[in-house]
A and B are shown apart, each in its own frame.
Chain A
Amino acid sequence: MTYSVFKSIKVINPATSLNDVSDVVVENNKIIAIVKNFKQEDLDDKRPITSYDCSGLVMSPGIIDIRVNIGKTENLILTQKIAAENGITSMVILPNQTPKLNNPSIIDHIQRQSENSSLPKVWVYGAATKDDQSLEMCELGLMSEMGAIGFTNGNKSIKNSLVLRRVMSYAAMINRPIIQHAEDEDLSGLNQASTTSIKGEMNEGEISTRLGLIGIPSCAEVIMIERDIRLAKLTGVHYHVAHVSTRDGIDVIRKAKKDGVKISCDTAPPYFTLNETKLLSYDTAFKLSPPLRSEDDRLAVIEGIQDGTIDAIASDHRARSKDTKIQPFSAASIGASGIETLFLVTMELVNKKIISIDKAISLLTVNPANILNLEIPSLDQNKNATFIIFDENIPSKIDKNNLKMSPTPFNGRKSFGKILGTFINGQPSFIHNDLKVKVEK
């Protein structure tokens, strides 16, 4: 039962449009004051105070990462810990795990297993259908009662139009969003039932031709989004497009938003920083889904972020073992680690003056909460003391050898920023040695 005081810290709080240097006082799990020139006498008792010297540092709400694959449920706690070290205070798990998150009891199990007030809160998406290609709807209502906050088939599209229509309609009834990995899997050759020998491996274009890898045309994304928008209009569901990666896809979403469709979308760091030319050495760290696209698509993602078409940035974390990545490109697994680089790579947008720091923080915190109807995180009096502390100016370089999960598509990438502390419910979930602490009586 102590007080913590964060002195002279720049508080960036999108919910109240605050960006100002103050002292933040925390008691137990609540922020009790954000004031200028805090003095000990202001407190009405003499309990010890843990004081943090935070001049030059920034405090913001913790990151809400709305797209995390944990692979196996055993990895859950480790993923939570690593997430905390990287400024993530809530994360949403996709249902394509082993075992699949397609029934109420497993949803319940995940949440109980992850419950720890000083680790990031784990939310769960339920599977929309029993299997990826299934025509059977999962128990959306029961899963929702157990805490599922949205429904999706994760890394696979909900393909059948009739099934999707019904899933959307049902989700609308229980007020949950449908999250879609937008890809026409027949066109990309990734449909399991496909009769063709073609299996898409990367973005289609000059590079795929040079490398002799099977191309996935970028329109595989927009085809799905266009169909889905029609069904979203028909059913009134909140439709969310995950990891948008193409200019056409973003244009269609932009227009749908103008037309008043209940639609939102996110993207992931690879899609605004990297393009398909990264694959020229067959480096499997860049084998992602959706695939890295053309430079024009990358620029469109940036435009989408700037003009608000893209609502959020998520890590799209999908860690893979080295064994499955040290393979010929065609045989290697799909996906890359993301929770350790989400903050840094997003900060790159700030340092390159593409977006303001306030906007970057919104994309990582308030906006994801909005999309998923979660409580909007806010650093304000009487609000929950869940926040991160970081240095926005310190140069940093991503080194794959210093990361805990592999692979990273960002090895060697330079940015600015460093997470120095992650506080969840008032407790220090992670504190970097560089954060100066002093205990006063």
Chain B
Amino acid sequence: MNKFLKNNQKNKLYSPVKLSSHHLLSIEGMTKDEIQKLLDRADFFANLDRHSDTKFLPGYVVLNVFFENSTRTRVSFELAARRLGAEVINISLINSSIKKGESLLDTASTLNAMKPDLLIVRHPHSGAPLLFADYLNCSIINAGDGRHEHPTQALLDALTIKRRIGRLEDLKISICGDIANSRVARSNIHLLTTMGAEVRCVAPSTLMPSNLEKLNVKCFYDMDEGIKNSDVIMLLRLQNERMSGTENPSEREYFKFFGLDEKKLSLASPNAVIMHPGPMNRGVEIASSLADDPSRSLIKTQVEMGVAVRMSIIEALNFTKNQT
């Protein structure tokens, strides 16, 4: 039984999902069933009145440890934890892990000594949250690690799609942009292919990672072809430092070939929706007018779903940890 529910046992809203791990480090390795249950539970939270009593975890301590800048993800996790009644402490350690002489493990064990229940980690290095999971006693959520994964983003994207279209199975979903450097792309690829969607990746060849088709996706270098008849178009942020150089010649060339505009969108399915994990570069990945088109753009819904998805995850990790 949940140790945080002592005085709250009769809360009818409490119905956590049990996962196979008390960490959420990656989508890769999660089962279809687990993903489905988390999405259903998140859907429940999304439908709930914001003032409903979902404070299942009073006294539960969450450390939001961010080694990289973030506004939306950090705030979204904080809100989710607070709606569950947890206590949240935000710790910003930007650049400190990279400084010489400082060990990530020392930071981790210091935090561990404060006995948190959950550590939410964002780190510029792929795999860093796995290191925390190896050395800490509490649950770990990967809030984005380098170019590896951003599992909660993929879950909230999936929930957004499900709520709009009603399913994930057999949908044609095009992920467009800087796939090579995107953790959002990797998590989405794993999640959507696991759930039975047809995933197409569209990128300039310099930003397409090696052997990507081994992840059960189709790769396209021509955006018109890559989004043809697609139900969902997910755009990825092009980092400033990659807008010119050897990965991409210029911003305007990128927009011409890989930016989403009305003309390209007309090739997609008539009701195709547009998504973007944010923050957007208007006029680079997406024409500004499309980003603001409420009939097409799900960008704001994605942000909204973030809180519900993260509530379902935090609740599930606590439950899973107490079961094991």
With known contacts A211-B148, A328-B123, A205–B97 Cβ distance under 8 A: no
Residues of A within 8 A of B (CB): 195-197, 204-206, 208-215, 217, 281-282, 323, 326-331
Whole-angstrom distance between the alpha carbons of A329 and B123 in the complex?
12
Q: Point out which of B104, B105, B145, B146 has the most chain A C-beta atoms below 10 A from its C-beta.
A: B146
**A331 B125 Cβ-Cβ under 8 A:** yes
Is B196's CB within 8 Å of the partner chain A? Answer: no
B238-253 residues with Cβ-Cβ distance < 8 A to A are 241, 245-247
Q: Quick one: which of A210, A215, A281, A323 contacts B130, CB cutoff 8 A? A: A281
Q: List 17 A-B contacts (CB under 8 A).
A: A205-B210, A206-B210, A206-B215, A212-B126, A213-B147, A281-B130, A282-B131, A323-B103, A326-B104, A327-B105, A327-B131, A328-B97, A328-B123, A328-B126, A328-B128, A328-B131, A329-B126
Q: Are A327 and B126 in contact (CB under 8 A)?
A: no
Residue B59 at the A interface, CB < 8 A? Answer: no
- Top 6 closest A-B pairs, CB basis? A212-B147, A212-B148, A328-B125, A282-B127, A328-B128, A206-B211
Residues of chain B within 8 A (CB-CB) of A330 are: 124-127, 146
Known A328-B131, A331-B104; judge A215-B210 contact (CB<8 A): yes
Given A328-B125, A331-B97, is A209 in contact with B103 using a C-beta cutoff of 8 Å? no
Q: Which residues of A contact B98 (CB under 8 A)?
A: 331
A213 to B183, CA, bound (A): 11
Q: Are B126 and A326 in contact (CB under 8 A)?
A: no
Contacts of B135 in A (CB 8 A): 326
Cβ contact within 8 Å between A208 and B210: yes
The smallest beta-carbon distance between B288 and chain A, in angstroms, is 28
- Besides A197-B241, A213-B127, 6 more A-B contacts (Cβ < 8 Å) are A209-B214, A282-B127, A326-B103, A328-B128, A328-B131, A331-B125
Of all chain B residues, the one with the shortest Cβ separation from A281 is: B130
Report B197-211 CB contacts with A as 1/0, cut-off 8 Å: 000000000000111
B131 & A326 in contact (Cβ 8 Å cutoff):
yes
- The residues of B that contact A328 with a CB separation of less than 8 Å are 97, 104, 123, 125-128, 131, 146
CA distance A196 to B247 in the complex (A): 9
Contact residue among A197, A206, A211 (Cβ-Cβ distance under 8 Å from B214): A206
The proximity string for B residues 121-155 relative to A, scoring 1 for CB distances below 8 Å and 0 otherwise, is 00111111011000100000000011111000000
Contact of A209 among B124, B128, B212 (CB under 8 A): B212
Closest to B126 in A: A212
| Complex CA–CA separation, A196 to B123 (angstroms) | 21
Nearest Cβ in chain B — how far from A275, in angstroms? 14
A217 surroundings in chain B (CB, below 8 A): 210
Distance in angstroms between the alpha carbons of A282 and B142 in the assembled complex: 15
Partner of B246, one of A196, A206, A211: A196
Q: Is the CB of B125 within 8 A of A205?
A: no
CB of A212 within 8 A of CB of B149, answer yes
Contacts of B186 in A (CB 8 A): 209-210, 212
The complex places the Cα of A327 from the Cα of B106 at a distance, in Å, of 10
Chain B residues near A214: list those with CB within 8 A: 147
Rounded to whole Å, the gap between the CB of A199 and the closest CB of chain B is 11
Contacting residues, chain A, for B247 (C-beta < 8 A): 196
Q: With A212-B148, A213-B147 given, is the CB distance from A327 to B210 under 8 Å?
A: no
How many whole Å from B13's CB to the nearest CB in chain A? Answer: 37
CA distance A195 to B209 in the complex (A): 20
Contact A204 B210 (CB under 8 A): yes
CB of B34 within 8 Å of the partner chain = no
**How far, in angstroms, from A326 to B127 measured CA to CA in the complex?**
12
Q: Is the CB of B126 within 8 A of A211?
A: yes
- Are A210 and B147 touching (Cβ within 8 A)? no
B28 within 8 A of A: yes
A329 and B145 alpha carbons, distance in the complex (Å): 11
CA distance A195 to B135 in the complex (A): 36
Question: In the complex, what distance in Å separates the CA atom of A95 from the CA atom of B209?
Answer: 36
Chain A, Cβ-Cβ closest to B208: A209
A136 to chain B minimum Cβ distance, whole angstroms, is: 28
CB distance from A274 to the nearest CB of B (A): 18
Cα separation A328 to B146 with both chains bound (whole Å): 10
Instruction: Name the residue among B124, B211, B247 with the largest chain A CB count within 10 angstroms.
Output: B211
Closest Cβ–Cβ distance, residue A359 to chain B (whole Å) = 35
Report A-chain residues with C-beta under 8 Å of the C-beta of B105.
326-327
Check B210–A210 contact: CB distance below 8 A: no
Closest to A213 in B: B126
- Report chain B residues within 8 Å CB of A212: 126-127, 145-149, 183, 186
- Kindly state the separation between the CA atoms of A204 and B214 in the bound complex, as whole angstroms: 13
With a CB–CB cut-off of 8 A, which chain A residues contact B104?
Answer: 326-328, 331
**Least Cβ–Cβ distance between B273 and chain A, in angstroms:** 27
| Chain B residue nearest to A215 in the complex (CB) | B210
Q: Contact: B28 with A210, CB < 8 Å?
A: yes
Interface string of B74-99 (1 = CB under 8 A from A): 00000000000000000000000110
Residues on A with beta carbons closer than 8 Å to the beta carbon of B148: 211-213
CB-nearest residue of chain A to B103: A323
Identify the closest chain B residue to A279 (Cβ): B127
Give the residue of A209, A215, A323, A329 whose beta carbon is less than 8 angstroms from that of B215.
A209
Given the contacts A210-B186, A210-B215, A326-B103, A282 and B130 also touching, CB distance less than 8 Å: yes
Q: Find the residue from A205, A209, A327 having the highest chain B CB count within 10 A.
A: A209
| Nearest CB of chain B from residue A131's CB, rounded to whole Å | 20
User: A216 → chain B, closest Cβ, in Å?
Assistant: 10
Contacts of A282 in B (CB 8 A): 126-127, 130-131
Q: Mark B213-239, 1 if CB is under 8 A from A, else 0.
A: 011000000000000000000000000
> With the chains together, A179 CA to B125 CA distance in Å?
33
Proximity bits, B19-37, A CB within 8 Å = 1, else 0 = 0000000001000000000
CA distance A197 to B241 in the complex (A): 8
CA distance A196 to B242 in the complex (A): 9
A368 to chain B, nearest CB (A): 35
One of A209, A327, A329 near B209 (C-beta < 8 A): A209
Q: How far is the CB of A417 from chain B (nearest CB, A)?
A: 32
Residues of chain A contacted by B183 (CB below 8 angstroms): 212
CB-CB under 8 A from B212, the residues of chain A are 209
Q: A212-B145, A323-B103 are in contact. Are A196 and B245 (CB under 8 A)?
A: yes
Is A211 a contact partner of B127 (Cβ separation < 8 A)? yes
Q: How far is the CB of A328 from chain B (nearest CB, A)?
A: 3
Q: Specify the chain A residue showing the minimal Cβ separation from B28.
A: A210
Interchain CB contact under 8 A, B146 and A327: no
B153 to chain A, nearest CB (A): 14
